[in-house]
Amino acid sequence: MWRMRFRWIALLSLFTCRLWSQALSGTIVGAVTDAAGAVVPNARITLTNEGTHFVRTVETNANGQYVASSIPTGSYSIAVEMMGFQRTVRDGIKLTAADTVTVDFFDYPDVPRQIKCA
C-alpha cells in the first residue's frame, strides 16, 4: 500500500514538473536570407536573454531556417553571424510562456569587399 502511494506521488510530481517547465518556456523560429533573397545555410544564431544572460546557439538548416525550442521566457537579443556577412543583432524580442515567436533576417547584408587597383 505504501509503495503504491509513493508511486502515485512520484508520478504526480513528474507530471507537475513537466507542466511547469512547458509553461515557462517558448520557441523562437525564423529564416535568414541575403540581400539577393537567397537562403543562408549554416548561419550561427545566438539568442541571449537580456535579463538572465542565458545563451542558446543554433544554426540555420539548408533552407536558411532555424528553430530554438524550450527557451526560457523573457526579453531576447538575437544575433546572426556567418563568414562573409556582417553580424546583425535584433534586441528586445519578447518571448512569453508557451509562445512561438518568428524572427526573420531578410536582406542579411554581406561584408563590403575592397577592390585594390594596381
| Domains identified in the chain and CATH numbers | 25-108 (2.60.40.1120)
Summarize pLDDT for 15-38 with one digit per residue, the tens. 555 554 456 899 999 999 998 899
Closest CA to 45 of 97, 103, 110: 103
The pLDDT assigned to 108 comes to 77
Confidence (pTM): 0.74
For all residues of the chain together, what is the average pLDDT? 84
Task: Tell me if 98 sits within 8 A of 23, measured CB to CB.
Answer: yes
Residue 41 carries which side chain, given as an amino acid letter? P
Does 65 have pLDDT greater than 70? Answer: yes
